[in-house]
Amino acid sequence: MDIENMKSLIRKNIVDFSELVLNNYYKIGLDETDAIIIIKLNYLLNRNITFIHPKKISKMLSISPATTSKRLNHLIENGYLNIELIMNGNGKETESFNLDAVIEKILKADFEEKIMDTSDNNKNIETRLVSLFETEFRKPLSVLDIQTITKWLNEDKYIYEEIKSALFEASKARKLSIKYVDRILLNKDSEEPQKKYNQTTLIKDLKKIWTE
């Protein structure tokens, strides 16, 4: 999901901005005080208040104006809060702020977290498969063999059960090699379209019988 889609969901109240920040602030390097300041700033934006007054914002918080000012400067300097000049209704330039960077950082952190989860999951499955292969082969796997298993998981997108089934099939045939297991997996891939074709043909034949 990109930032514009997320902003649209926030505007439509499908996604609650405050909840989004509270659930993710620590993932993007913020603490609780920063999170509350950002939530308060979003509150102001929703009321078309686009100019930041540290003294007024501090009254909404439990920190002093000086601390509020330091916190706001920190958010600006570290790219969480964007300040820009816009033309107001009178044709004069005035300061305005937006929180797009916060949303973008949260989306990026969420994406990276999912990538890490997938990577960790694959690494765990890879470890299990290596152990299983070494048990069946009764010898340690070579670096090349392990790289092949990694490729099956990350590039070919085979799941654990598919690889395990192919291994046991190779074991029954007494062909204990990674290459033979790879050949079994490739053959199953080539059989899939034929299976789908046979199923479709069978359905057509049944329909023909029904209409005759």
pLDDT in tens, 66-86: 999 999 999 999 999 998 887
Which band of pLDDT confidence, cut at 50, 70 and 90, is reported for residue 1?
Answer: low
Structural domain includes residue 127: no
Total domain count, the chain: 2
Mean of the per-residue pLDDT values of the chain:
84
Q: 181-193: per-residue pLDDT in tens?
A: 999 999 987 765 4
Q: 21-39: per-residue pLDDT in tens?
A: 999 999 999 999 999 999 9
| Domain span at 151 | 141-211
pTM: 0.56
Domain boundary among 50, 84, 105: 105
Structural domain includes residue 70: yes
Q: 116-171: per-residue pLDDT in tens?
A: 776 677 788 898 999 999 999 999 988 889 999 989 988 888 999 999 999 999 99
Q: Identify whether residues 11 and 96 lie together within a single domain.
A: yes
Which domain CATH number covers 188? 1.10.10
Structural domain includes residue 117: no
Structural domain includes residue 7: yes
Cα separations in angstroms, 208 against 200, 204, 205: 12, 6, 5
Which domain CATH number covers 75? 1.10.10.10
Q: Identify whether residues 65 and 149 lie together within a single domain.
A: no
